[in-house]
Structure 1
Amino acid sequence: MAGDAVVTVRLVRSFQHRNFKPVVFHQVDLDQTVEDVEMFTPGKTHVHHLTPVFSDTMKIIHQAHGAKTNELVMSLDDDEKLILQNGQTLRAAGVTNETEVAFFKKEDYGLYKANPKSAW
């Protein structure tokens, strides 16, 4: 049913410092596109106090009743399968009720993935 999903978006400020803020969205319509969700998610173009970077990429990091990664921010694996593509609906991208996705800057993710070291 449209509009009855709960989706948690993890706003990633820094992979290296493991800094993120989870935001829970209720009554999410899974038939809306990835771009529609990005436009109204903090971190895209407004609410800069939550995340100072302009996020541009979303990736599924956990689904209800599934295994979680040992990585504190998100898994670095399966990008081809888990990164949400523009033009897709959330449902087509594999988002279901109680899915958790990360919203981050792709350039920062690429740098961290090339050298996945944490700084404290």
Structure 2
Amino acid sequence: MATYTDFSDIPTNLARPKTSATLTVRVIKSLRYRTERSLVLQNINLETTTVGQLKDISRQAIQTQPGWKPYRNVQLDTLKLYTQAHGAKTTNLIINLDHDEWILADDSTLADAGFENETEVSFFNRDLYEQFKQDPETTW
């Protein structure tokens, strides 16, 4: 007889092991026009995958998966934590402009950077981000 385990009380960020997490990468084409698309990556090992490897995985998915053609010419070079499951979100709809310490170094593992299951990160061009911080006005 099969046993049933009730996971309804387990928060989603703890429901999966760190060796098989689901992450959302918010690929940002334009900060000013708030153009972004979410890339969902599954079965990511947070304990062994580095930030640099996550960038490579994301770039590979953008280059090979259908529907990403408008994003293929964007120079994506920076990852920054956006939110974690059950955490507070920023009021800015495209990227959190505060907490520059959340910009991630390429050599740290995702677990060391604070990633959990269902963490969201922004993937963007650093130069465009710095320009947008100086004048954070959005256009339609």
TM above 0.5, one fold?
yes
The secondary structure found in structure 1 opposite 2:139 is: coil
CA displacement at 1:3 relative to structure 2: 3.0
Pair 1:66 & 2:66 matched? no
Identity %: 36
| Amino acid in structure 2 at the alignment position of 1:65 | H
Instruction: Give runs of aligned pairs for residues 33-52 of structure 1, distance below 5 A.
Output: 33-42=50-59, 46-47=63-64, 49-51=69-71, 52=73
Match of 2:125 in 1: 105
Q: CA deviation at 1:93?
A: 0.9
More strand by share: 1
The answer to whether the aligner puts 1:78 opposite 2:99 as a matched pair is yes
Structure 1: give runs of 5+ residues left out of the alignment.
Answer: none
Q: Is contact 2:26-2:122 (8 Å) kept?
A: yes
Q: 1:30 to 1:41 in 2, by over 3 A?
A: same
Residue identity matched to 1:76 = L
Distance across 2 between alignment mates of 1:3 and 1:50: 32
Displacement of 1:50 in angstroms is 4.4
Letter aligned with residue 53 of structure 2: D
* Structure 1 residue 41: Cα displacement: 0.5
For 2:89 and 2:40, how far apart are their aligned partners in 1? 18
**Matched residue pairs, number?**
119
2:95 maps to amino acid: M
Aligned residues of 1:43 and 1:50 also touching (Cα < 8 A): no
Once the two structures are superposed, what CA deviation does each residue of 1:62-94 show, in whole Å capped at 9, x if it has no partner? Answer: 1011111111111100111x1111110011111
